[in-house]
Amino acid sequence: MALKIPGLVIFILVAFGLTAQDKATYRIEYICETNLIKKNRYDGLNTLYFSEGRSLFIHNDFPKETQFLGSFRDSRYPPGIIKGDREGLPVYMDFNLDTMIYKTDYFILSNQNFILSTEIPKIEWVIHDLQREVAGFQTRLAVGEFGGRIYEAWFTEEIPVPFGPYKLNGLPGLILEAFSRDERVSYYFKSFQKIDGRGVKIGPPIDGREMTMEQLQEYLITDLYRAESVGATHDDPHPNWTIEKSKWTIFGDYKKIRTTRREPIKLSR
């Protein structure tokens, strides 16, 4: 038997319950494994902190500094750039305000990473009867779609909070493990514990360029025209470039619409 619960309903029920929980800070560690075009920059240790309806997810092993890779002389390693991030590309959620603030290293030609704010994603999960034990916790299977991928998430109602790895959220218990069915993204449980929250600040990223999605689109389209003025162009990355499939299609969408209009237009996403 499967139970389908809209993400918005889950959000309302769980967020209301959070007001009664203690003010302790908890930490769950995951091991992330990906098979993405962007290579393995998300891989390794990932950490989620949460307290009082707020969470902070960090890619601990993401490069801290910008790195230049390869050379024109060695075809095995073509030249490229990995944009580093000292904060580990954090994802911050505040269920009290229905707000998600996250950082992206998209658009390699910018010398800064972008900080974007939006509502918390509402995932329509289907909860199944299938159960299994993960590190001593009894978990249930939930299946939902996020970022163009279908995830099988194992959550435990023994820890009744709606958090999970990366941007996965909205179940009536903490997600301990999650796997995309296309085998591109996997999160394995490593550890869970209550910690001294005095040394942890659960807050949004601060080291980057704050923008709305509309402002980012304007910035990118302006740079597209700059590139085209010197005979170059910008194209969208591969659909499997990052965790969210086909996340960045701003250039392609704009070019398609531009063919029918002369004036620059704004895209909504």
pLDDT of amino acid 77? 41
pLDDT of 157 higher than 50: yes
| Of residues 236, 150, 185, 237, the one with CA closest to residue 40 | 185
pLDDT of amino acid 7? 59
CA distance 213 to 203: 20
What is the chain's Cα-based Rg?
20
| Of residues 23, 22, 60, 17, the one with CA closest to residue 165 | 60
| Of residues 28, 26, 14, the one with CA closest to residue 50 | 26
Render pLDDT for 34-92 as a digit per residue (tens, 0 to 9). Answer: 999 876 689 999 999 999 999 999 999 998 887 766 554 444 444 566 778 899 999 99
pLDDT of 226 higher than 70: yes
Residues 15 and 95 sit within 8 Å (Cβ to Cβ):
yes
- Tokens encoding 89: 């590309």
Can you tell me the mean pLDDT for 186-214? 92
Residues 168 and 175 sit within 8 Å (Cβ to Cβ):
yes
pLDDT of amino acid 243? 93
Give, as one character, the DSSP assignment of residue 197: G
CA distance 78 to 80: 6
Compute how many other C-beta atoms are within 10 angstroms of the C-beta atom of residue 221: 20
Can you tell me the mean pLDDT for 184-206? 93
19-57 in b/e burial notation, b at 16+ Cβ within 10 A?
eeeeeebbbbebbbbbebeeeebbbeebbbbbbbbbbbb
248: Cβ contacts below 8 Å, ≥ 6 apart: 106, 236, 237, 241, 242
Can you tell me the mean pLDDT for 183-212? 93
pLDDT of amino acid 67? 72
Would you give the distance in Å from CA 46 to the centre of its chain? 12
pLDDT of 253 higher than 50: yes
More reliable by pLDDT, 75 or 153 = 153
Record the pTM. Answer: 0.85
Average pLDDT of the chain is: 86
Residue 106's pLDDT band, with cuts at 50, 70 and 90, is: confident
What are the boundaries of each domain within the chain?
Answer: 2-199, 212-258
| Of residues 78, 80, 77, the one with CA closest to residue 66 | 80
